[in-house]
Amino acid sequence: MLDAKTATPLYVQLIDILERQIVFGELEAGERLPSESELAKQFGVSIITVRNAVGELCKRGLLERKQGKGTFVRKVKYMRDSRTLSSFTESCRNQGMTPGGRTLEKKVILLNAKIARNLEQAPGSQGIYLSRLRFADREPVIIERNYFPMKYAFLMEKEFDDNSLFEFLKETYQVTVTRSDKEIGLCHATQTEAELLQVPVNTPLILVKSTAYIQTGEPIYVGTQVMNGERFTLQITQGIVL
């Protein structure tokens, strides 16, 4: 029950209670909230108080209203902080999520002219192609497609389903990815991408094109990441150049 005698407004007290229930799993992702009248009766407050609290939690992204269906606990989005360079596995762990993956393709290919140039390889060079579907808490969120120079052919012998590529390179070969140049845009889900990410065909997706470099300044891979914007947030900080 809420305390009407304190200086803290009742709707703020209700926000705190509901937020704790969501964070600690008492209210699970996808669960329907009781109606406003039911919550008002449960906590001994007015419907207006409940409406204000629920509205604020919707703004914070913890709840979402579905017309004609009610208010539901939102699924937590995976957030990628573009201000720091970290692997998908590390980012998931930092957010309390369980990372996962499934290798889609791994093969030797002929690099096209643009990829070869970005990898500082001679025209017509061969390279390693590695494509993976990445999961956060068992939900598909990213399709990765990366191209490596042939000096990384040893990647063909290693499985990267639920393993971190960054961690493997660092721990086994003392190769550290230190920089990644990115271009961020939008694309629409193809039939294959829609099936993998479990979204309708033509759903708008976040497209990130990357060239990553190791501690020596050499490019290690060129690739793309296709991300489900419903389950993914990119965090970017900009500064003023003086």
Which residue ranges does the chain devote to CATH 1.10.10.10?
A: 10-73
pLDDT in tens, 15-73: 989 988 876 678 887 889 999 999 999 999 999 999 999 998 888 778 888 888 899 98
Q: Which CATH architecture has domain 78-235?
A: 3-Layer(aba) Sandwich (3.40)
Q: What is the pLDDT of residue 86?
A: 59
CATH code for the structural domain at 10-73: 1.10.10.10
Kindly state the average pLDDT of the residues 93-116: 88
pTM of this structure:
0.64
CATH 3.40.1410.10 range(s) for the chain read 78-235
Query: According to the 3-state scheme, what is the secondary structure of the chain?
Result: CCCCCCCCCHHHHHHHHHHHHHHCCCCCCCCECCCHHHHHHHHCCCHHHHHHHHHHHHHCCCEEEECCCEEEECCCCEEEECCCCCCHHHHHHHCCCCEEEEEEEEEEEECCHHHHHHCCCCCCCEEEEEEEEEEECCEEEEEEEEEEEHHHHHHHHCCCCCCCHHHHHHHHHCCCEEEEEEEEEEEECCHHHHHHHCCCCCCEEEEEEEEEEECCCCEEEEEEEEECCCCEEEECCCCCCC
pLDDT in tens, 194-240: 999 988 888 888 898 999 999 999 999 999 999 887 766 655 544 44
